[in-house]
Amino acid sequence: MIKKRAEQEIFFIKTEYMVKIGKALPHLASEIRLDSPGLPLFQDDKLFHMIFITLPQTRNQMNKASILIVEDEQRLAEILKKHLEDSGFIADIAHDGYIGKQMIQNNNYNLIILDLNLPLINGYDLCKEIRQTNKNVPIIMLTALGTSENKIAGFDAGADDYILKPFDFRELQARINVFLRRPETTNNHDFLKISDLEMNLNNKTVTRAGKKIELTTKEFALLETFLKNKEKLLTREYIIEKIWGIDFDPGTNIIDVYVNYLRKKIDKDHDIKLIHTRFGHGFYCSENEM
């Protein structure tokens, strides 16, 4: 009877750690309450701590980049995990948004791969929660939702990249490598400035006239690109490649959407406008119109 209940628990939580300690579950079954209509409750959190905190932290002591896969399709998650581990990474899996949140709160992952249609907490909401406490960890959304509205919502939530299923793992790995190669600090280029607008690249903050401006991850990246290319006309193609990746649909209006977002946050209520458009050519950042 105990063994049967333990096996039901393995299926319910659906995480790799439950499977790995499956043989130990019979004598730990008393730690689990199965009467919850949602997630099982752990009477003293000992089992939960062992599964979702102790094991990942032990593995993260190794000198390898650690990646969390938050994906409810178990087969896809296992395939991703194998590819990543074969490529030299440490990979953990969470099969729903709640478990993903717990693992993120208790482990220092170098990168997060995040599905959108997740049980308990969807990918958009989980991404927003992550960004409230961690603005630096790269988040790649991996999803079948491919409309411009979906992508904009993902970037607004704080995603750094957005890849559609089905996908080529080589492309995913290439993007992972780009994020993990980025230095945590930028030495003498920690601050960017134009007029009374200042950007701190270390703590990801932006102020204008001393007032803090809240930006999403993509808005920050777009403004950073403008500030690093002050007085330069940037084409749509350049911005798409720099911010959204070379395979992003150049016909989309997402650039116009984000430029408008920036203008509302950066230039509204200021006499000196910093973000400008040259119709038919592109965009530029300057204290004066070119």
CATH no. for residue 204? 1.10.10.10
**pLDDT of the residue at 63:** 57
Q: Is residue 32, in this structure, part of any structural domain at all?
A: yes
Predicted TM-score of the model (pTM) = 0.57
**pLDDT of the residue at 247:** 60
**pLDDT of the residue at 165:** 87
Residues 216 and 109 in one domain: no
The last residue of one of the domains, among 136, 161, 182, is 182
The last residue of one of the domains, among 150, 182, 214, is 182
Residues 54 and 127 in one domain: no
Residues 228 and 129 in one domain: no
Residues 108 and 89 in one domain: yes
**Number of C-beta neighbours around residue 247 at 10 A:** 11
**pLDDT of the residue at 267:** 92
**Residue type for position 200:** N
Cα atoms found within 13 Å of the Cα of residue 237, Cβ hemisphere only:
2
- DSSP E strands: which ranges in the chain? 32-33, 41-42, 66-70, 90-94, 111-114, 139-143, 161-164, 191-194, 197-200, 205-208, 211-213, 275-278, 282-285
Residues 102 and 28 in one domain: no
Q: Is residue 96, in this structure, part of any structural domain at all?
A: yes
Q: Is residue 290, in this structure, part of any structural domain at all?
A: no
Give the separation between CA 77 and CA 220, rounded to whole angstroms.
30
CATH of the domain at 69: 3.40.50.2300
Q: Which residues of the chain have pLDDT under 70?
A: 1-63, 182-189, 245-251
**pLDDT of the residue at 71:** 93
**pLDDT of the residue at 183:** 54
The last residue of one of the domains, among 61, 76, 106, is 61
Domain range enclosing 27: 1-61
Residue bearing tokens 């959108």: 116
User: How many domains, the chain?
Assistant: 3
**pLDDT of the residue at 36:** 39
